[in-house]
Structure 1
Amino acid sequence: PTGMLQKDFFRQTIDEIHKELLYLIFYFQGEPYLNPGFLEMVRYAADKKIYTATSTNAHYLTDENAKKTVESGLDRLIISIDGTTQDTYKQYRVGGNIDKVIAGAKNIVKWKKELNSKTPFIFFQFLVVKHNEHQVEEIKQLAKEIGVDEVRFKTAQVYDYENDPNNLIPSLDKFSRYKKDSKGVYQPKNKLANRCWKLWHSNVITWDGLVVPCCFDKDAMHRLGNLKNESFKTVWHNDNYKQFRSELMMGRKNIDICANCSEGVSVWQ
């Protein structure tokens, strides 16, 4: 199910874990600016000295929202922009409008200057796939013209990578998580080492309180606990968590979300 993270539940969770929490990411399979309480929650975390980050398609970065974003204390803002022209952008961002993305980025840059603020640090995130790899240099130039702080090129996770039915895997090897084997079939570059730092470092909490291992569990199927019913500390040390960690250490390839994971592979270029 989908829904909105509620402010009361958010505050309750932050109050419980803020002393151990260093970094808070405000996104998981959704657009944060659709939540009317989003920036209030950012401010709440920022006031507790927690580093905050979010990722957006920038379609809702109006002048007003851009000002509120800078005022919220948000530390890092990732703007997903997977093309420099509308024709290229819409191939992956179906229904999206590149002009809105560019306008949103300009609004944030403007308000950082107006309010004399160093934050948020603004990233352009460019997911490199076959249809946009020819615009790698163009996105660098666009970011420079707007005043974006940094461009990051992200490699794409392809579910059916052996067949690549949507023709997503780029021809530029440095931007691909996959390479062809001796039979000419794409395989992940990594060797699936039975390790994962994330299971001892972080997790995902969904809007309705579910705790899942990481962002690769996009449908929240590996449920380790529920903060609506138990404390974070209890979940972190419970049998479900211990079992999942043990299973990964014994055979990562046997866990669906881990078998096509980027652990051990360069995701950012």
Structure 2
Amino acid sequence: MFRRIIDDFRTELRKPTIYFNFSGEPTLNKALPDMIAYATVHGHDTFVSTNATKLSEDMAERLIRAGLGRIALCMDGFSKEAQEAYRVGSQFAAVKANIELFCAAKQRLRAKNPITVLQTLLTSYSETQIDEIRHWAIQHGFDRIRFKTFSLGSHTSPEMRVAHSHFLPKDQSLRRHENARESVLCTSPLSQTVVFWSGDLGLCCIDYDQVVRLPNVMEHGFLTAYRSDEAARARRRGFARQFKICQSCSYSNADKLGFIVRLDPSGAA
């Protein structure tokens, strides 16, 4: 199915970026580097986001050699307490070591790509670690840091909000806030789509449960499904935020999703 999707764009002048992650961990797929290589050869930019818990040296080298365009290596703080309080079941030392392993592989292979982004979550456990994280990222050759604000979710029950409020940073400027005014429009359905394991199209990255039913790419190909009247109508409704999932979206209903720090090898941000 993946190759069929890529092949569908062979005669298209504009090639979309392929994001190899949705709601799972992409590095568990041993064929991931081969898929990236196929997309890259056919003119697509590629992106992977990983929690690095299972990232091995072999996988790191294969991803780099495949021509991966960008990678977000995610670490939810810069201490055992900060990482493991939020990412239950992970091991901070292992995640940190795996990320360092990837950076070392890129340097050893003298590769310009992928652009490496360190993504870290701003919580009450990590808000005092920003300078330490920045120093470590520069030391290991990262191109950028993305500090992502913590979300309680606009659909979360009051009880759940109270139970997880201890994650909120004490510094109000590092918190995600609900929009003072409700967004009228959302461009996400116009600029992105999801293909589920079954071949069904998804409206956007928020529709994890396929609330919005869209055509399947398996019968007539991706472009036919994407350009169908049914999919176009759904995108227009999504743009106007007319679906129930739009009302509980933690992205379109929020301000300050985070900030990016671009790094220079000399140590200047």
Query: Which TM-score tier does this pair reach, normalised by the shorter chain?
Result: 0.7 to 0.9
1:56 corresponds to which of 47, 50, 55: 50
CA distance in 2, matches of 1:22, 1:253: 26
Q: Secondary structure, in 3 states, of the residue corresponding to 1:119?
A: coil
1:47 corresponds to which of 41, 45, 63: 41
Q: Bigger CA drift: 132-141 or 67-76? A: 132-141
CA distance in 2, matches of 1:59, 1:93: 10
**What is the match of residue 166 of structure 1?**
164
Cα offset for 1:89?
0.4
Unmatched tracts of structure 1, length 5 or more: 1-8, 179-187
Deviation per CA, 1:62-98, whole angstroms, max 9, x where unpaired?
2222211210100111011001111210111111111
**What is the match of residue 150 of structure 2?**
156
TM-score (norm 2): 0.84
**What is the match of residue 23 of structure 1?**
17
**What is the match of residue 198 of structure 1?**
188
CA distance in 1, matches of 2:168, 2:208: 20
**What is the match of residue 27 of structure 2?**
33
Contact 1:75 1:120 (8 Å CA) reproduced: yes
Deviation per CA, 1:190-239, whole angstroms, max 9, x where unpaired?
52322222222221112221211111112232222211234323322334
Equivalences, count: 251
Query: 1:27-106 to 2 correspondence within 5 Å?
Result: 27-106=21-100
Contact 2:188 2:239 (8 Å CA) reproduced: no
Alpha carbons of structure 1 residues 93 and 245: separation in structure 2 relative to 1, 3 Å: same
Alpha carbons of structure 1 residues 196 and 63: separation in structure 2 relative to 1, 3 Å: same
Unmatched tracts of structure 2, length 5 or more: 260-269
Alpha carbons of structure 1 residues 77 and 217: separation in structure 2 relative to 1, 3 Å: same
Deviation per CA, 1:159-212, whole angstroms, max 9, x where unpaired?
22756231133333333222xxxxxxxxx1252322222222221112221211
Q: Secondary structure, in 3 states, of the residue corresponding to 1:78?
A: strand
* 1:13 pairs with 2:11: no
CA distance in 2, matches of 1:227, 1:154: 33
Contact 2:4 2:221 (8 Å CA) reproduced: no
Alpha carbons of structure 1 residues 174 and 204: separation in structure 2 relative to 1, 3 Å: farther
CA distance in 1, matches of 2:197, 2:150: 25
Q: Secondary structure, in 3 states, of the residue corresponding to 1:225?
A: coil
| Overall identity of the aligned pairs, in % | 27
Amino acid aligned to 1:260: C
Contact 1:217 1:257 (8 Å CA) reproduced: no
CA distance in 1, matches of 2:174, 2:230: 35
Amino acid aligned to 1:198: S
TM-score (norm 1): 0.84
Alpha carbons of structure 1 residues 259 and 244: separation in structure 2 relative to 1, 3 Å: farther
**What is the match of residue 120 of structure 1?**
114
Deviation per CA, 1:100-126, whole angstroms, max 9, x where unpaired?
222222222222222211111111101
Higher relative contact order (CA 8 A, sep 6+): 2
- For the aligned residue pairs, the C-alpha RMSD in angstroms reads 2.2
Cα offset for 1:249?
4.8
